[in-house]
């Protein structure tokens, strides 16, 4: 496990930094925090990704990041655990879900690459 640090702003001013864990696998995260907590984190992020993707789709031309966030939200926990730690397999899974998202919104290759 590694530790990350993120700058925290409040009212456009930096008020400090937050340290957080970066786990190398879901197994490591579960061992560290417990399955219930990790599942809660995944579900919370999944909800956030879905909400952000929908918000982006209705505010302007969807970005690649917004589409990928929605694609991620379509991945099951079992699918994510099966590809954990393997970037190529994860990318393949995400790309397959991205096809579903693009079909859902009738999009082709004209999606913005901005993140």
106 contacts 75 by C-beta, under 8 angstroms: no
CA distances from 30 to 13, 26, 48, 59 (A): 34, 6, 21, 36
Question: What average pLDDT does the segment 63-70 reach?
Answer: 86
Distance of alpha carbon 25 from alpha carbon 31, whole angstroms: 10
Where along the chain do its domains lie? 2-105
Tell me the pLDDT tens digit for each residue of 12-57: 999 999 999 999 999 999 999 999 999 999 999 999 988 888 887 7
Q: Nearest-5° angle of CA 84, CA 68, CA 17? A: 75
């Amino acid at each position: 496990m590694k530790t990350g640090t993120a700058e925290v702003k409040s009212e456009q001013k930096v008020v400090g930094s937050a340290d957080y864990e970066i786990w190398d696998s879901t197994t490591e995260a579960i061992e560290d925090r417990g399955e219930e907590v990790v599942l809660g984190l995944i579900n919370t992020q999944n909800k956030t990704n879905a909400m952000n993707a929908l918000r982006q789709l209705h505010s302007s031309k969807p970005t690649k990041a917004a589409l990928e966030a929605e694609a991620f939200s379509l991945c099951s926990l079992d699918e994510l655990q099966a590809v954990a730690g393997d970037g190529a397999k994860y990318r393949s899974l995400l790309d397959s879900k991205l096809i579903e998202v693009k079909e859902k919104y009738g999009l082709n290759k004209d999606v913005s690459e901005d993140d």
